[in-house]
Amino acid sequence: MPYTAFGCLTLEQMVERLTKYHPNDNFALVEQAYAFAQKAHEGQVRKSGEPYFTHPVHVASILTELMLDAQTIAAGLLHDTLEDCPGVTMEVLTQQFGGDVAQMVDGVTKLGRLDFSDREEQQAESLRKMILAMGKDIRVVLIKLADRLHNMRTLSFQPKEKQVQVARETLDIYAPIAHRLGVYTIKQEIEDLALRYIDPEGYRDVALKVGQKRVEREAQIQLIIDTLTQKLEEMGLKNFEIAGRPKHLYSIYRKMVLQNRHFDQIYDLIAVRVLVDTIPECYTVLGVVHTLWTQMPNRFKDYISVPKNNMYRSLHTTLVGGRSIPTPFEIQIRTREMHQVAEYGIAAHWNYKEGSNPDGLDTKLYWLRQILDWQSETRDSKEFMDGLRTDLFSEEVFIFTPKGDIINMQRGATPLDFAYRVHSHVGNSCVGAKVNGKLVPLDTELETGDRVEILTSSSSKGPSMDWLNVVKTQQAKAKIRQFFKKELHSENVQKGRDILEHEAKRRGVKLGELTKAEFIEPILKKYTFPDTEALYGAVGYGGLTSAYVISRLMEEQNKTEKSQAPQKPTLPEPSQVMRQGKPTHGIYVEGGAGMLVRFGHCCNPVPGDDIIGYITRGRGVTVHKSDCVNAVTAETERIVDVSWADSEVGTFNASIRITAYDHPSLLGEITVFVTDMGTPVTAASAKMNKNGTCDIHMVIQVNSKEQLRQAVSRLQKRSDVLEAYRSVSQ
């Protein structure tokens, strides 16, 4: 079982603990919120059968253990009332609990009542809302993390598909956020819990291996503690604590799976933590440790002199103990204050009552400001999710300015990213860069310790569109797009219109037909564009992809035309079609057993599609998708009812279109990727674009619409793929 740090507290216990760490806080607010939430959730039950109110109580208990203030605990008790309790509104919460509490509750409330095209879009916009709320009050995300922790603890009561979905979202989004905020106590538990559902066998394997030699490891840990204690006491060090460190199963699993390491090669299975009072004592203990045991090369990390961006500070060293301790082991050394921050992260720093920001908290939340900057320029939900995952997961490098200041950046960043990190004007006027005193290309990947100097020119005309392919950080991309958006408005509008016209033509439709007011108005409203020109401009500077806009316009057109179209005679359901004899190529034809059957190359229907048949003179029956333009405009008297056979009858051709970042082996890699999914490629062609992308058309073989959907979905998740979709026609 994973390490559980938090239990459920009674109201009295919450108030008692709050009294200890915030003696002057508003305890009545917590009591009032408790009573309000208990009444609001009355009669509601969870999947486990427990009263729903147990969930907000658990969430508030976790927030209390994090030593947060009364407002945050009250918001934790109320966090689901807006979403799940009729009659509870922002006005009600503001009136009874104040604006801060109401805003926090609203910040963690999902966007569940709006019109979204799919679940991913809903998830993206709900996360965007939470990120914006975090920018105003960081306590919002601490409530969300507490909420997610308790939901993960009770995930066993959900259906299996939901378990995997929630666990994956937890690892992709919430664990990285907890890491960024330094809340390791929550991060480690939700990671271990998520692993149980994503890879149950892997989880059990690691847990078994950890448990098998537990007695032997505990004996070695005790030997380390006794040896170090004796030596520190001999040196006169008194107020210190030494203890074994709890095992984090997911971190062991990641090293075994991602780094392809054997269990015996994991060096932190035996781990000890030393707590002292001062920083000089940390280095004293480090010196003692290195005299007692042999240090492993390249396994020492000083996070005290160069802290992690999430405020984590500690000394880490890996050692070898000889015959008595044959397995390499890790020792962590830190002050008690550092340990508090390591466990609770930002929660240990936030001083609400004083209204202060201790220890330069603003600088430690720079990653959040970066996300806030670029998300406003990113309209597309998929692009937002990809950017969010990149920013949250990225490792860091530490770069020096010419004056010796340290700037942390994500691994893979270039001098151009560095220029935009310094200031938008520096980036826009950049004409070159020096790294460690030498001129380098702007796409050079920076490494920790590099000293970077940006060369600028007042006569620079600004960034090039090619720079979007050079920079790696979302912040730099957003600032480049912002330049083109402001400086080149008319050019962007014309460029966007041209791009959309090209995409519409490629889909076999005319842009003018799609941009009628009734089709385009829902999209303008969704993205708060004042007019069609603003939409064109967004496409022109890269804020929205042309394929996404045309797809949404076509969806609106189809919905409107279907609602306005005269009612046609109702075709019988597939199960009602007279099935005579054996199917031909998996198709039953009404009253036409044995007839020649072929599939329309214009739409390439596959099992699972709604289909109709069209009698072609001398060529039998041609099967089309029911919404294929050739079927819709066909002569009514030549239409015949057809249906799919109940069982799989072979493979069918399907057309897909892919737009990806171009590189020499792109077509080959995509072809192998698609084939490895069990969907053989029968034809493929590629066309390179001037903007560094490549359009690929493929014909693949599938046995069902669902298999085709899964193939397209997996393509969309590739980092080099901008968009992938089923092609309407060849």
Element (H, E) at 21: helix 11-21
Please report the pLDDT score of residue 161 as a whole number.
83
Which residue did the predictor score with more confidence, 716 or 339? 339
* CA–CA dist 65, 694 (Å, integer): 52
For residue 334, pLDDT over 90 is answered with: yes
Q: Give the pair of three-digit tokens for residue 19.
A: 């009294």
Domain positions in the chain: 11-198, 212-348, 364-485, 488-564, 574-644, 652-726
> 292: closest CA among 231, 242, 236?
231
Highest-scoring range by mean pLDDT, 55-69, 522-536, 613-627: 55-69
Please report the pLDDT score of residue 36 as a whole number.
93
Q: What percent of the chain has pLDDT over 70?
A: 78
Q: What SS3 state is found at 406?
A: strand
Confidence band of 462 (pLDDT split at 50, 70, 90) = confident
Beta-carbon contacts of residue 613 (< 8 Å; ≥ 6 apart): 587, 589, 597, 621, 622, 623, 624, 639, 640, 641, 642
Topology annotation, domain 11-198: Hypothetical protein af1432 (1.10.3210)
Which pLDDT tens digit goes with each residue over 111-136? 444 344 445 555 556 666 566 656 66
Confidence band of 34 (pLDDT split at 50, 70, 90) = very high
Give the strand order in the sheet containing 681-688. Answer: 681-688, 693-702, 652-661, 721-726
Which residue did the predictor score with more confidence, 88 or 364? 88
* CA–CA dist 176, 164 (Å, integer): 18
The number of helices, as runs of H, and strands, as runs of E, in the chain is: 32, 20
Please report the pLDDT score of residue 618 as a whole number.
60
Question: What is the per-residue burial (b if ≥16 Cβ within 10 Å, else e) of 484-518?
Answer: bbeebeeebbebbbebbeebbebbebebeebbeee
For residue 60, pLDDT over 90 is answered with: yes
Q: What are phi and psi for residue 334, nearest 5 degrees? A: -155, 165
- Of the listed 12, 25, 84, 106, which one is catalytic? 84
* CA–CA dist 459, 697 (Å, integer): 43
Secondary structure letter of residue 174 according to DSSP? I
Please report the pLDDT score of residue 370 as a whole number.
61
> 137: closest CA among 71, 84, 63?
71
Please report the pLDDT score of residue 120 as a whole number.
56
* CA–CA dist 541, 538 (Å, integer): 5
For residue 275, pLDDT over 90 is answered with: yes
Topology annotation, domain 364-485: Ubiquitin-like (UB roll) (3.10.20)
In the chain, the largest separation of any two C-alpha atoms, in whole Å, equals 102
* CA–CA dist 380, 382 (Å, integer): 6
The question of whether 513 is a catalytic residue gets the answer no
Which pLDDT tens digit goes with each residue over 655-693? 888 888 777 778 878 887 888 888 888 888 888 877 677
Q: What SS3 state is found at 539?
A: helix
- Classify 212-348 by CATH class: alpha beta
> With helix as H, strand as E and coil as C, how does 610-633 read?
CEEEEEECCCEEEEEECCCHHHHC
Please report the pLDDT score of residue 150 as a whole number.
92
Please report the pLDDT score of residue 181 as a whole number.
77
Confidence band of 602 (pLDDT split at 50, 70, 90) = confident
* CA–CA dist 552, 409 (Å, integer): 36
**Mean pLDDT of all residues in 458-469:** 81
For residue 247, pLDDT over 80 is answered with: no
Which residue did the predictor score with more confidence, 636 or 411? 411
* CA–CA dist 482, 65 (Å, integer): 43
Confidence band of 38 (pLDDT split at 50, 70, 90) = very high
Beta-carbon contacts of residue 238 (< 8 Å; ≥ 6 apart): none
Secondary structure letter of residue 680 according to DSSP? -
Which residue did the predictor score with more confidence, 614 or 563? 614
Query: CATH second-level architecture of 652-726?
Result: 2-Layer Sandwich (3.30)
* CA–CA dist 619, 597 (Å, integer): 8
Q: Answer whether 71's CB lies under 8 Å from 104's CB.
A: yes
Helix ranges restricted to H, 235-306: 249-258, 279-292
For residue 425, pLDDT over 80 is answered with: yes
For residue 316, pLDDT over 80 is answered with: yes
For residue 646, pLDDT over 90 is answered with: no
- Of the listed 31, 83, 199, 453, which one is catalytic? 83
User: What DSSP letter does each residue of 316-357 carry, written as one string?
Assistant: EEEEE--SSS-S-EEEEEEEHHHHHHHHHGGGGT-BTTTTB-
Instruction: Tell me whether strands 652-661 and 315-320 are parallel, antiparallel or unpaired.
Output: unpaired
Confidence band of 250 (pLDDT split at 50, 70, 90) = confident
**Mean pLDDT of all residues in 351-379:** 49
Please report the pLDDT score of residue 289 as a whole number.
92
Please report the pLDDT score of residue 645 as a whole number.
74
> 26: closest CA among 88, 58, 72?
72
Q: How many CB atoms lie within 10 A of CB 565?
A: 9
Confidence band of 578 (pLDDT split at 50, 70, 90) = very low
The question of whether 83 is a catalytic residue gets the answer yes
For residue 456, pLDDT over 80 is answered with: yes
Question: What is the per-residue burial (b if ≥16 Cβ within 10 Å, else e) of 54-83?
Answer: bbbbbbbbbbbbbbbbbbbbbbbbbbbbbe
Q: Answer whether 40's CB lies under 8 Å from 34's CB.
A: no
Please report the pLDDT score of residue 113 as a whole number.
40
Which residue did the predictor score with more confidence, 624 or 617? 624
Q: What percent of the chain has pLDDT over 90?
A: 13
Instruction: Tell me whether strands 597-599 and 620-625 are parallel, antiparallel or unpaired.
Output: parallel
pLDDT, the chain, mean: 78
For residue 29, pLDDT over 90 is answered with: yes
Say which residue the tokens 């509870």 belong to. 88
Bridge partners, residue 726, by sequence: 656
Which pLDDT tens digit goes with each residue over 96-112? 999 889 988 888 875 44
Which residue did the predictor score with more confidence, 727 or 424? 424
Same fold yes or no, 11-198 and 212-348: no
